A and B are shown apart, each in its own frame.
Chain A
Amino acid sequence: MDIILQQLVNGLTLGSVYGLIAIGYTMVYGIIGMINFAHGDVYMVSSYLTAIAIALLSYFGLESFPIIIFGTLIFTIVVTGAYGWVIERVAYRPLRNSSRLAVLISAIGMSLILQNYVQIAQGARQQGVPTMLTGAIRLDIGDGFVQITYMKLFILFVAFLGMGVLTYIIQKTKLGRMCRATQQDRKMASILGINTDRIISAVFVIGATMAALAGVLITLDYGAFDFYVGFIIGIKAFTAAVLGGIGSLPGAMLGGVILGLSEALFAGLISSDYKDVFSFSLLVIILIFRPSGLLGKPEVEKV
């Protein structure tokens, strides 16, 4: 019982982070119909930026937790957002009217460039950041107990806050309406006076900032990372996006939470060695039985 509860808490935290990264996959897919395979590496870059921000802030003698976390979030989100903008500009915009395959190959190339560039710039060794937030809530349940670290609570709070703010922006603001219009009918959006290139850039920046949020949270929690961390978590988040229905924003968040929960339960109850196998089996099963995902609409060929 306590194991199940513990794994539910762990899964929810992990899932909220998958959801944040999945947002980038799903929004980019929604607007230009491509899978941005460099997105996991954008997350990886944000891990390094987190460490850089912490180092910079401590260098200037700012060491209280709220200042460090706030400063790190701002710095990482802004710089990662800039990465998102540049990646779209360099790797995807020149191929806007090419085949989907060309853009896909460009995405894989971008992913390799980011990995190798970080490896050269920062070294291939695993890096780490110190633990910032310690302590936990301990709940006694029967014979056992459930432990919820403050860091996990913090992750949950920030992740869901991020998703809430984004949902508000997409549903209620002018920028959000322009994003949805461009997603639903790009040609019509441009006829109505929307600079669709700029909206596509904005979507890449939004996706990158959500990945940055995830990067800061996970890096602060796990402490360790290397230039290759983007791969597995990127594919997990992609699985979450497909599970929820690629192209659907609420789907990405829901898919992330479901994937995180089921993975944590599998790890806790059956085998933690095979949790990745479980996640990717889930991806295969979704693709076979419900390729449009939980909240996605089946793709209709436009005539």
Chain B
Amino acid sequence: MTTLLEFKDVDVHYGPIQALKKVSLDVKEGEIATMIGSNGAGKSTLLMSIFGQPRISSGQIIYRGEDISDKSAHYVASNGLAQSPEGRRIFPGMSVEENLLMGTIPIGMDHCDEDMQRMFELFPRLKERRNQRASTMSGGEQQMLAIARALMSRPKLLLLDEPSLGLAPIIVKQIFQILEDVASTGMTIFLVEQNANHALKLADRGYVMVNGEIRITGTGEELLVNPEVRDAYLGGH
């Protein structure tokens, strides 16, 4: 399997505070990789740094053989990376359909109708609400919209930042079921999560981040039974 995305000794600073410390990881084509860690561990910083927000202070981010660490966000997005970010960040004043259209910016409108139909099959709730203002939807629906919007650009690598955040367990289950469907189409996914149980069950490989450092790595199964991971992230039993 070829490596799609690679972090090499990446440091990120917010002023005097170091948010990421010598982070090295890779995501291979066709796999689901996950990064688990508690609140404030640096997970979102990691995903946003791919888009240069914030810029890394040292190291390299390599995407398909190219160092993208000093590229603009729109350049990165135009080359097949899409993100469903922390807090969803859907456009509140736009309708569901318009939000989905925003996902097509990198590839143009050629596949727009076809892809939108696909999204409505994947997320039937969005179809019911296609003309509704996005801000009036529930958290779960907004999360689905954020994921669908990212998929509209036909990404080579889908980056997901805590799709379970603040959602009811039943909705979380639904969303992870959909992610499994998406992954079965061959989509490469890098998932950042606090919900270690769901994330590790879905993922081929996982990383555990603590205070900006990667502490443990392994396959999803290995991490699920790892005593340290179980104590810290899976409620200890």
A188 at the interface (CB under 8 A from B): yes
**Of A178, A185, A195, which is within 8 A of B89 by CB?**
A185
B178 at the interface (CB under 8 A from A): no
A188 CB → nearest B CB, Å: 4
B206 at the interface (CB under 8 A from A): no
**Binding site of B, secondary structure by majority: helix, strand, loop or mixed?**
loop
Across-interface contacts of B102 in A (CB, < 8 A) = 177-178, 181, 189, 192
**Nearest neighbor of B47 in chain A, beta-carbon distance:** A191
B186 at the interface (CB under 8 A from A): no
**Of A178, A181, A184, A190, which is within 8 A of B73 by CB?**
A190
A194 at the interface (CB under 8 A from B): yes
A187 at the interface (CB under 8 A from B): yes
**Nearest neighbor of A297 in chain B, beta-carbon distance:** B93
A93 at the interface (CB under 8 A from B): no
Across-interface contacts of B92 in A (CB, < 8 A) = 184
A89 at the interface (CB under 8 A from B): no
A27 CB → nearest B CB, Å: 14
**Of A174, A184, A193, which is within 8 A of B74 by CB?**
A193
Q: How far is the CA of A189 from the CA of B109 in the complex (A)?
A: 17
Q: How far is the CA of A66 from the CA of B129 in the complex (A)?
A: 48
Contact-residue size bin, chain A (C-beta under 8 Å from the other chain) = 10 to 19
B3 at the interface (CB under 8 A from A): no
Across-interface contacts of B149 in A (CB, < 8 A) = 192
Across-interface contacts of A180 in B (CB, < 8 A) = 91, 93-94
**Nearest neighbor of A190 in chain B, beta-carbon distance:** B73
Contact B74 A185 (CB under 8 A): no
Contact A193 B153 (CB under 8 A): yes
In the complex with contacts A181-B91, A184-B91, A184-B93, A192-B105 CB distance below 8 A: yes
Q: Most chain-B Cβ atoms within 10 A of its Cβ — which of A181, A187, A188?
A: A188
Across-interface contacts of A193 in B (CB, < 8 A) = 74, 77-78, 105-106, 153
**Of A178, A181, A192, which is within 8 A of B77 by CB?**
A192
Across-interface contacts of B78 in A (CB, < 8 A) = 193
A26 at the interface (CB under 8 A from B): no
Q: How far is the CA of A186 from the CA of B53 in the complex (A)?
A: 12
Q: How far is the CA of A177 from the CA of B134 in the complex (A)?
A: 14
Q: How far is the CA of A249 from the CA of B187 in the complex (A)?
A: 40
Q: How far is the CA of A190 from the CA of B51 in the complex (A)?
A: 9
A16 at the interface (CB under 8 A from B): no
**Nearest neighbor of A184 in chain B, beta-carbon distance:** B91
Contact B94 A177 (CB under 8 A): yes
Q: How far is the CA of A187 from the CA of B86 in the complex (A)?
A: 12
**Nearest neighbor of A185 in chain B, beta-carbon distance:** B89
A7 at the interface (CB under 8 A from B): no
Residues on B close to A: CB < 8 A? Answer: 51, 53, 72-74, 77-78, 82-83, 85, 89, 91-94, 98, 101-103, 105-106, 109, 149, 153
Could you list 16 A-B pairs, sorted by A, with CB under 8 Å? A177-B94, A177-B101, A180-B91, A181-B91, A184-B94, A187-B53, A187-B73, A190-B53, A190-B73, A190-B74, A191-B77, A191-B83, A192-B102, A192-B103, A192-B105, A193-B78
Other contacts beyond A178-B105, A184-B94: 18, CB < 8 A: A177-B98, A177-B102, A178-B102, A180-B91, A180-B94, A181-B91, A187-B89, A188-B89, A190-B53, A190-B73, A191-B53, A191-B73, A192-B77, A192-B106, A193-B78, A193-B153, A194-B74, A195-B72
Residues on A close to B: CB < 8 A? Answer: 174, 177-178, 180-181, 184-185, 187-196
A-B pairs, top 5 by smallest CB distance, nearest first, are: A193-B77, A190-B73, A193-B106, A193-B105, A188-B89
